[in-house]
Amino acid sequence: MTVPRSAFEEIPVAGHKLVDTVRAVVRAGRVRRIVVRNAADRIVLDLPLTAGVVGAAFLPFWAALGGLAALSAHYTVVVERDVDAHPAS
C-alpha cells in the first residue's frame, strides 16, 4: 500500500478573479483541497475535495466564493494536489 503524496501550489489572485481561478483549478483535476487566504494570510475558506463531488454539491461553495470576492482585493489560493508515488515510465 502506498501513501498518497501531495504537492502544494500558491496562486495570488485579485478579488474579482477569485471564482474564475478556483473553477479553473477544480476543472484541471487531481485537486485534493483548496484553501483561500486573504491579504492578512488568514484562512477564509478551506474546502477538502473528494473524487466524484461535482455539480450541485458545489453551489454553496460558489456562492461563498462570490461573497468573499466582494470583501477584499487580494487573495491567495492554495491548491493541494495528489502526486503519483510511482511516475509513469
Among candidate residues 85, 78, 81, the one with its CA nearest the CA of residue 7: 81
- For the chain, which domains are there? 7-82 (3.30.1490)
pLDDT tens digit sequence for 1-12: 566 688 999 999
The pLDDT tens digits for 11-54 are 999 888 888 888 888 888 788 888 999 889 999 888 887 655 55
The pLDDT of residue 63 is 73
Q: Quick one: average pLDDT of 78-83? A: 87
**Per-residue model confidence (pLDDT) at position 59:** 63
- Alpha carbon distance 34, 78 (integer Å): 6
